[in-house]
Structure 1
Amino acid sequence: DWEGYADDILKKSEQYGFQSAHADMVRFRKHLTEKLAGHHIPIRGFSCCDFRLQHLRCFFEGLAADRFVLLGLDDRLIQLLQSTPAIPGLECIVDRASGIADFMGYPFVDAGALAGSEELARLHRELDHVVVCCPTYEFSEYTLLAKELFPDTPLKYAPFFDRKTEANIEKIVRLKEPLVAFCTGGAARMLLEGTALGQTDIVAFAENNTKLHGTTFYGKPVIAPAEIAGYARNLVILSDGFAREIEDQVRQEKLPVNLLPLF
C-alpha cells in the first residue's frame, strides 16, 4: 500500500512542520501516480538499505546461542527471512494475525490466542529473550504487548539502523557530556530503550510540535529548538525519517549547537 505509506509521511511531515519533506513527498507521490497511470504494477513498500539488512543479520547472529521469539513483523525482517536460510534460536514468530500457522518456514502464533495458553507457559520456561521487531511508529504498542505476554522475559529490540549508526552511538556514549535530543517519536523510544543512548546524559528533548512544549519525555523537559543552547551545547537527532530535514533546520536557524552525527 504505497499510497497509504506516502499519505502517512505527508500527514506526519505537515504535523511536525517539515515543509520541504512534505513538498518532496507531494512531488514523489505525483510522479509515481503519473508513471503508474493505466498500468497495474504492484508496489509492496520500500526496501531497507543493504547495510541495515547486514546489521540486522549480525544482530541475530549474536543471538545464535539463545532461544527467543520474534514479536512483530516488518519489511526488514521479511527481507531477512527471505535471504537467510535459517535463524538459529528462533522458536516462533508472534504477531496479531489469525489463521496463519507458518510464515517462511517458522511457526507463527497469533498473539491473541497465545495469552493464557500452554504454549505461552512453555515459552516462559524456555526463552532467553523476546525480540521486538516492528516499525518504529508501532514501538510503544509492541513493547506493551511484549510486557503483557512475557513480563519476566528480557526484551531486545531488532535494530532499524546500520553499523555506522551503532558506531556513532558508541562515540556519543564515550563523549560523556550533556546533550539535547531532537524528536520524541517511535525511533527515539526505540533508540533510548534498545541502545546505549538510553544511558547518556540527555537533559532535554527538542520538538517542533508546539503542543509538546512544556511536557516531559522520559522524565526530561520537551523544549522548542530555540531553547536548545540553554540546556546543552551538544545535539543529537533521534529521527531516522526526518534527520536531514532537522539538520537543515538547525543550520538555517543558526542554532549555536554541536550537531552529533547519528544516522
Structure 2
Amino acid sequence: MSSVIQSRKQILTGQLSILLFAVVAGFLGRTGTLYWTFIFLYFIVYMYLMSKFGQPKYPSSAKATELDKGKPLYEEMRPFEYVSNDKQYASEMQEQMKMMNVSMILSFVVLIYFFLAFGPVTAYIAPKFSDERIGMTVAYLTLFEGSFAISTLGQVYTSRRMKKQNKKPVMINIPRSFSVTTEGIILRGLTSSSGLKFPLDGFKVELNEERKFVELINETDKAIYKVRLYTKSPKKLYDIIMRRREKGSSEKDDEELKPERTQ
C-alpha cells in the first residue's frame, strides 16, 4: 500500500478489485479457512495492483523495445557496484524507508481490522438479506471498503503532514542496468524494462561526479521522482544525455560518440 496518496486510476482499480473479491468471497468463502484464504488473496492482489498502477507515469515514457532500435551510445551493466560506495545513499533511503514503514503499519492495522470486524459486520448485515450469499457479499463489500478507507485515511494523513512540513515524498529509482541509445534511455529491472524517450521532456538532469551518478528528476504536485543512473563514467554519460536533449542534434554528432559499455 503506497504511502503516496493514490491516483484516480489506483482508486478505480482498488474499487473494482474490492467489488470482484466481495462477490467471489460472498458466494464461496463465507466462513472459516476460506474466509482467511480470500483475505490473504485480497491483500496480495490489492498490493500488486496498487504497486503496478502506482508507478509514476513519466512524461517521456516509452517502450524499451522502441528505444532499443536506436544506435547504442552507452551501457552500464552493474550500477549497484557504485551504489555501495555512495555513503550518502543510506541517509537518503531513510526517508523512503519511513514511508515504507507507514505502509507496513497500515497493512497491519487493516489486518487487525479484518480480524475484529468480521464477526460483528457479518452478524449485523448478512441476516438482513433472504439470500445468505447476497448478504455475505454485502458484508464482504463493507469489510473491504472499510480497509480501503483506513488505508486512504492513512495516506491522506501522511500527505498532509509532509505538506505542513513543506516536504514532498522523494522516490529514488535505481535500475539494475541501463543503456542509452539515440532514441532514449532503457531502464532494466528484475523482471521488466522501461524507457525514457529523448529529449526527456519533464525531467531536470543533474550530474554528481563525486557520487558517480546522473540523476533525472521529475517533480509533480504530489512527489519528487528521481531516476538515478550510477556509472563508472558519469561525466561522459551526462554529456551524451545532454547532447541528445539539444535541439538539432544530428546523426553526424552521434557518429563522433564511441559507444561505451561498462562491465
TM-score by length of 2: 0.25
Report which of the two structures shows the higher radius of gyration computed on alpha carbons: 2
More helix by share: 2
TM-score by length of 1: 0.25
